[in-house]
Amino acid sequence: MADSSDSSTSAQPTAPNRADRPVYVIGGGPGGLAVAYALRARGVRAVVLERSGRVGDSWRRHYDRLRLHTTRRLSALPGLPMPRRFGRWVARDDVVRYLEKYAEHHRLEIVTGVEVSRVERTPDGTGWLLHATGGRELTGAAVVVATGFNHTPRIPDWPGRDTYTGEFLHASEYRDAKPFAGRDVLVVGVGNTGAEIAVDLVEGGASRVRLAVRTPPHIVRRSTAGWPAQYSGVLVRRLPVGLVDRLCRVQARVALPDLSDRGLPRPDSGLYSRVREGAVPVQDVGLVDAVRKGAVEVVAAVEGFEEGEVVLADGDRVGPDAVVAATGYERGLEGLVGGLGVLDDRGRPVVHGGRTPAGAPGLYFTGFTNPISGNLRELALDAQRIARAVARTGGASRLPA
């Protein structure tokens, strides 16, 4: 794997000859690395531009207890299986090790410490011009944007938040429960991250843990009788949405207790309907038992802050020592490609994988969906689709035979 010290020449402007232009991949996470390998396997030169100093930087910053909710076998990127010693549910640090090994094993061309701020068409319309740190202007035959689903932490504009005197942090800053032992903590948001942090706080000795919920989530067992939820997600992807919703409703009644009396009723809308809207189910790694036993108290959504307290949607007020906002992320693509007409009204790419937006040939996106079948699995599939599309179109520089 090359770093910024021995690959700096890769970040210099390329020659104007279109055949000499590489494909630039923006982002050195799983999606970017997978695309770079798939292109290399087809003889196409791909240069990965990573803004941090190392590949997989976002994975390094996740909380300590994180494990994949997808199986090791279905989480591997193309061209290199994950080692069996990682176990079925791969830990965060092992994901990082795998990404490092992946880049090294495939001898990917990676330039670190380079952040791309804007992508636009070249003046002659034959390629793409990337504006990057240090005044660099890079010209590529094609561009793959792989900056990640969890790019920019999102914190709601809660009124009065600046008056809160307790500790406040976004979930992206949370590492483990040690700093919160013996303290009263409110976790805001019940996605997978919020659910796991709430359980981590209970196990780590927080004196009280409350979980603020606006919309009750669908909850699924990560594995039932040895059958991972991901396998079901793969199988149902092409079934009618209504049918999957009904099947999941029956399965939930059999597999999970009713937590309505604990403030977490079963959702009214169907599981797959919610997935199609962008809300994946919460995989249970302890939340159900913690809520059932009262170790995690479910409260109403946060409406604002006032006089050092948190105001909830039902009118209650709570005064925790700390608030952890597990309120998600923005894609952060507006500055990068916002002027190209390639984003929808929620800031997401209008296409992904092997398709390019109308009016933007050669511009690809990967990693901006959150599929029920597993994000890493879909990144691997997208990488192959993108590589096929780029090779079919031609125009990018080729690797030496």
| 264 and 338 share one domain | no
Tell me the CA distances in angstroms from 56 to 38, 130, 172, 251, 281, one per residue in order: 18, 22, 15, 36, 25
Give residue-wise pLDDT tens across range 82-125. Answer: 999 999 999 999 999 999 999 999 999 999 999 999 999 999 98
**Could you report how far apart the first and last alpha carbons of the chain are, in Å?**
20
| 293 and 367 share one domain | no
CB count, 10 Å around CB of 5?
8
What is the residue range of 115's domain?
8-151+331-393
Final residue of a structural domain among 294, 325, 356: 325
Query: What's the pLDDT score for residue 19?
Result: 59
pLDDT band at 401 (very low <50, low <70, confident <90, very high): low
| 345 and 312 share one domain | no
Give residue-wise pLDDT tens across range 207-263. Answer: 999 999 999 999 999 998 899 999 999 999 889 999 999 999 999 999 999 999 999
| 366 and 308 share one domain | no
Query: Could you tell me the CATH number of the domain that includes residue 293?
Result: 3.50.50.60
| 130 and 70 share one domain | yes
Q: Provide the residue type at 241 as one letter.
A: V
Query: What's the pLDDT score for residue 18?
Result: 55
d(CA 232, CA 294): 30
| Nearest in space to 35 (alpha carbons), one of 177, 173, 142, 175 | 142
Global pTM reads 0.90
Query: What's the pLDDT score for residue 242?
Result: 96
| 220 and 113 share one domain | no
pLDDT band at 396 (very low <50, low <70, confident <90, very high): confident
Final residue of a structural domain among 268, 302, 325: 325
Span 305-331, mean pLDDT?
Answer: 95
The answer to whether position 252 is within a domain reads yes
The answer to whether position 250 is within a domain reads yes
With a pLDDT cut of 70, the percent of the chain lying above it is: 95
| 232 and 302 share one domain | yes
SS3 101: helix
**CB–CB of 317/179 below 8 Å?**
no
CA dihedral of residues 193, 198, 200, 205 (deg, nearest 10): 160
The answer to whether position 400 is within a domain reads no
| 163 and 282 share one domain | yes
Span 50-67, mean pLDDT?
Answer: 94
Structure tokens given for 154: 């999102």
How are beta strands 208-213 and 296-300 bridged, if at all?
parallel
| 147 and 159 share one domain | no
The answer to whether position 1 is within a domain reads no
pLDDT of 13 above 80: no
| Region of residue 192 (left: phi > 0; alpha: psi -120 to 50; beta: else) | alpha
How many folded domains does the chain comprise? 2
**CB–CB of 126/16 below 8 Å?**
no
| 5 or 235, which is more confident | 235
How are beta strands 136-140 and 128-132 bridged, if at all?
antiparallel
| 169 and 267 share one domain | yes
Give residue-wise pLDDT tens across range 128-185. Answer: 999 999 899 999 999 999 998 888 899 999 999 999 999 999 999 999 999 999 999 9
Final residue of a structural domain among 272, 300, 325: 325
**CB–CB of 122/342 below 8 Å?**
no
